[in-house]
Amino acid sequence: MTPTQIVFLRRLGSSVALWTVALSIILTGFELGFMFLIGGLGLLGLWEFYSMLDVKKLPNFKIIGMVCGAVFTTGSFYYFSRVGPEHSYDFEIATLLLFLLVVFSRQMFQRTRDISPLETMAYTVFGLLYVVWLFSFVTKIVYLMPRDAAGHVTGHIYVLWLVLVTKFSDMGAYITGSLIGKHPLVPHISPKKTWEGFFGALVFSTGGACGLLALIPQRLSYLTQRDALILGLVLGFAAIIGDLAESIVKRSAGVKDSGSFLPGIGGALDLIDSILFTAPLLFFYLRFFVFNS
């Protein structure tokens, strides 16, 4: 068996295992499962981010960041599911404020006058905002959507739609770039990304968004084909930016993958990098253009 075949089998096995777990949680509407799935991936991604900084010997308060990330994730989930959005936003702001106070207080005990204090605080805070805060919008989407008559959540279907549209973008970029890609997009960040792959990602994400809505319109009743067309383009573009954003982090840290959580794929951050940018955009589109229309 060739190395390429081994990598393919590892990637296939990881993908099947991951989708089996994710779909079983999403399709059943198991709320506690959502918390462990979303929270687990977010915190693992945060740990990988700080670990990449460690590889480059970039200063950070990893433990403080992880503790705050855990508090932020579990608290946000609790408030959104039990209390409601209004107090949830207050909780998140209060948690971020407390986090800043803790980071600054911790830095006061570091006896140095060079640039490292500023770097340590910046890297630590950026990790929380980049991974945990952005990924928390997946939870927000789940609870933004009204519950059904029996009190069950309905937003989990919109999360599934979001993930599939995001992956359609990734797939379109890979297939189109591999087949006809000739013009580099941003070679200083990711040499394999091409303009052909960029437009292929937009075509695939838009087609996937409209196709999935046509397939299950009753489960995505708050969206129209016009919404799907707009979101397909917007989310496809955001997915590309999310992938490139993580490439900047990995290239700066000098690593190929964020971790080894999924054999053949990489780490948790490699898995959710695009969703970190597509989830907030879907949330705000739903909030400003669907529920305010």
pLDDT of res. 68: 93
Which residue type occupies 53?
A: L
CB atoms within 10 A of CB 27: 11
pLDDT of res. 182: 84
pLDDT of res. 113: 61
User: Each residue of 6-39: pLDDT tens digit?
Assistant: 554 565 566 666 667 777 777 777 788 888 888 9
pLDDT of res. 16: 64
pLDDT of res. 189: 83
Lookup: tokens for 172: 């379109």
> Roughly what angle, to the nearest 10 degrees, separates helices 137-144 and 31-55?
160
**Domain boundaries defined on the chain:** 3-290
pLDDT of the chain, 293 residues: tens digit per residue: 666 555 545 655 666 666 677 777 777 777 888 888 889 999 999 999 999 999 999 889 999 999 999 999 999 888 888 887 767 888 888 999 999 999 988 887 766 666 778 888 899 999 999 999 999 999 999 888 888 887 788 888 999 999 999 999 988 988 898 888 788 888 888 888 888 989 999 999 999 999 999 999 999 999 999 999 999 999 999 999 999 999 999 988 888 878 776 766 678 898 889 999 999 999 999 999 998 75
pLDDT of res. 149: 81
pLDDT of res. 67: 95
Comparing CA positions, the residue from 274, 264, 249, 258 lying closest to residue 173 is 274
Q: Token match 């994710």: residue?
A: 22
pLDDT of res. 191: 81
Helix locations, 29-154, DSSP H:
31-55, 62-78, 85-107, 116-127, 134-135, 137-144
Which residue type occupies 44?
A: L
User: What global pTM score does this model have?
Assistant: 0.90
Distances (CA, A) of 158 to 17, 99, 164, 208: 22, 31, 10, 14
- Cβ atoms of 170 and 198 within 8 Å: the answer is no
- Cβ atoms of 225 and 215 within 8 Å: the answer is no
Does an H or E element contain 208, and which? Answer: helix 195-215
- Cβ atoms of 264 and 11 within 8 Å: the answer is yes
pLDDT of res. 178: 84
